[in-house]
A and B are shown apart, each in its own frame.
Chain A
Amino acid sequence: MENKFNNLILTIKKDRMSPEEKVALKNSVMLFVDTYQASQPSPYVKKSPYFSGFSFAHVGKLVTAGAFLVVLGVGGITAASAKALPGDFLYPVKINLKEKIEEKIALTPEAKLVFRQKRMETRLQEVETLMDQNLLTSSNSDIVESNIKREAIEISDNIAEVRKTNPGAAQNADLNIKETVRIHREKINANKNASKDGDQINYSSRILKSLPAGDDEARDDLRINQTTPEATPSKIIKPDIQIQKDELAPDPLSVSATEAVKD
């Protein structure tokens, strides 16, 4: 009995979060910690009893989003799309409806940042699932690349927005994102190295190139920050992001401006 009991306890003790889950959860918790500190009301400011936090704009957003969710919930499409992968029939529902609604429900820049961090994690997990099942193709790896680039831009802009009111939270989020990307980059790389399928290797190489800066770069950023106080992670990330923006959607105005300078 004692031996069986010990085995039982040891077995249960092995149930834990995966390293990715643990990091992702910590990112969310620490972002909350930073933003909660910042949002504490000053003890020197007394709120008027006639003031309330009511906002028609917020209520409007919630009602609209709630109505959408009810409609989708009834249809069951949203639930069915949750596990869809790039290239699947329901994948557009997942990213263009389900996630967009969830994004709308996150009202503050900080809440949006938490949501987008999770969404980036989801994108990277989708890549790993596709690789695990040898399902990477030319078309779905195009979708993956485009999604990851778009996600990186949105996160970068979001971090810049949060930085205006809460620089500490923004910097933590910045580093956390890079840590998350680093973990998944390693995993994708390991899958790529283990694969014997030439196509899978090519497609995964392309995806790896599209990933934003990882934690190694984050550490470099920190070192740069220590030597040059005016440099911030955003300033270092931005050039990469700008390149990605250009790749995604060439802006005709910016081209003519460049030509104008040449003239």
Chain B
Amino acid sequence: MAEVNKQNLKEHFSKAYEDFSDAIFRYCLYQTSNREKALDLTQETFTKTWQYLNGEKAEEVENIRAFLYKVANHLVIDDRRKKKTSSLDAMEEAGFDVKSLEDEKVNHENEFEGKMAIEALKMLDEKYRDVLMLRYVDDMSVKEIAKITGESENNVSVRIHRALEKLKNILGEEL
């Protein structure tokens, strides 16, 4: 029985990879501005999650997506502590990093949109950018975002509102 459960867990985990790996990668990419680093962090997110799920202290994970984001978030924070070069401005200095996003741009239907996305995000504070991405890019609920960031739902709602206001200013005035 235990074996069957283990196999089920592996299948669910494999499906979770298929469903959420791109989103986790994107989250790490926008947090680190470095494609290679984002790939490493994405891999580590899944291996750490698997370790947790198989560990002695594992508790039932209700929402695997939120859990993965939480792990990714911790890894990103750890990474920043190790290396304090996390701003999106560093992206342009790093050469390859900008190129990674610029390369992605080739796939975009409209080249201007790609530039606009990067420019608009660069102008937002990190705390606003994070909630905006989780809410609208990753389609998360306020409750899920609160779980990931460790903030209250009320704080998250306020932050999203302010982020939208700020973005509105950027999109209206700067672009």
A and B together in one complex? yes
| Bound Cα distance A178, B22 (Å) | 22
| B4-41 Cβ-contact flags toward A at 8 Å (1 or 0) | 00100010011001100110011001100000000100
Specify the main secondary structure of chain B where it touches its partner.
helix
**B50 contacts A32, C-beta separation under 8 Å:** yes
Q: Report chain A residues within 8 Å CB of B26.
A: 12-13, 15-16
Q: Report chain A residues within 8 Å CB of B167.
A: 5, 8
Is A11 engaged at the interface, CB distance under 8 Å to the other chain? yes
| Bound Cα distance A147, B56 (Å) | 43
A33-B10 in contact given A4-B171, A11-B113, A11-B116 (Cβ < 8 Å): yes
**B50 contacts A8, C-beta separation under 8 Å:** no
Residue from the list A5, A13, A14, A29 in contact with B47, Cβ < 8 A: A29
| Bound Cα distance A219, B14 (Å) | 19
Q: How far is the CB of B132 from the nearest CB of chain A, in Å?
A: 9
| Bound Cα distance A118, B85 (Å) | 27
**A4 contacts B137, C-beta separation under 8 Å:** no
| Bound Cα distance A8, B114 (Å) | 8
Residue from the list B17, B54, B136 in contact with A36, Cβ < 8 A: B54
**Whose C-beta in chain B lies nearest to the C-beta of A7?**
B113
Is B146 engaged at the interface, CB distance under 8 Å to the other chain? no
Q: Report chain B residues within 8 Å CB of A13.
A: 26, 137
Q: How far is the CB of B144 from the nearest CB of chain A, in Å?
A: 17
**Whose C-beta in chain B lies nearest to the C-beta of A31?**
B47
| Bound Cα distance A26, B136 (Å) | 26
Is A28 engaged at the interface, CB distance under 8 Å to the other chain? yes
**B43 contacts A28, C-beta separation under 8 Å:** yes
Is B101 engaged at the interface, CB distance under 8 Å to the other chain? yes
Interface residues of B in 146-175 (CB under 8 A from A): 167-168, 171-172, 175
Residue from the list A5, A7, A12, A29 in contact with B43, Cβ < 8 A: A29
Q: Report chain A residues within 8 Å CB of B141.
A: none
Q: How far is the CB of B96 from the nearest CB of chain A, in Å?
A: 9
Q: How far is the CB of A81 from the nearest CB of chain B, in Å?
A: 15
**Whose C-beta in chain A lies nearest to the C-beta of B49?**
A29
**A1 contacts B22, C-beta separation under 8 Å:** no
**Whose C-beta in chain B lies nearest to the C-beta of A13?**
B137
**A37 contacts B113, C-beta separation under 8 Å:** no
| Bound Cα distance A199, B42 (Å) | 40
A8-B113 in contact given A16-B25, A28-B43 (Cβ < 8 Å): yes
Is B133 engaged at the interface, CB distance under 8 Å to the other chain? yes
Interface residues of A in 5-42 (CB under 8 A from B): 5, 7-17, 21-22, 25-26, 28-30, 32-33, 36-37, 40
Q: Report chain B residues within 8 Å CB of A5.
A: 167-168, 171
| Bound Cα distance A25, B50 (Å) | 14
